[in-house]
Amino acid sequence: MNQIFGKVFRTSDGSEYGVIRKISAPLPEELSESDVIAEDECGNYFVRENRRIHFWDHETSEFTILANSVNEFIAGCAAPSEVELEPGQVKSVWVDPEFAKKFGIAPKP
């Protein structure tokens, strides 16, 4: 399963789920550790249930079927799409203060 980390799952209509990474503890109470195969950077999980792979949304606790097997899921994993931004498109951004310190950027009051 290591080949899925750093990738997204892309559906046939082009929707992307991910970026997929290894599980970090603790898991939400609703999920069984033995069924969770990965998580994404936003607190959502990829879960195996009855051979199918589901996406569990942490905000709604809803499951979406992504693939009918692990092999189908792996085949649907791909590098994330490139994002191109136009000048002025980003209005603001939050930067972790500890990360900003590494570049000599002082936090705004």
Q: Which tens digit of pLDDT belongs to each residue from 37-48?
A: 999 999 999 999
For the segment 17-29, what is each residue's pLDDT rounded down to a tens digit? 989 999 987 999 8
Q: What is the pLDDT of residue 25?
A: 78
- Dig out the tokens for 42 from the structure: 């936003």
User: For residue range 93-107, what is the model confidence (pLDDT) as tens digits?
Assistant: 888 888 888 988 887
Complete DSSP assignment for 41-57: TTS-EEEEETTEEEEE-
Please list the residues that pair with 57 across neighbouring strands.
Answer: none
pLDDT above 70: percentage of residues in the chain = 97
Which tokens is 67 given? 């693939």
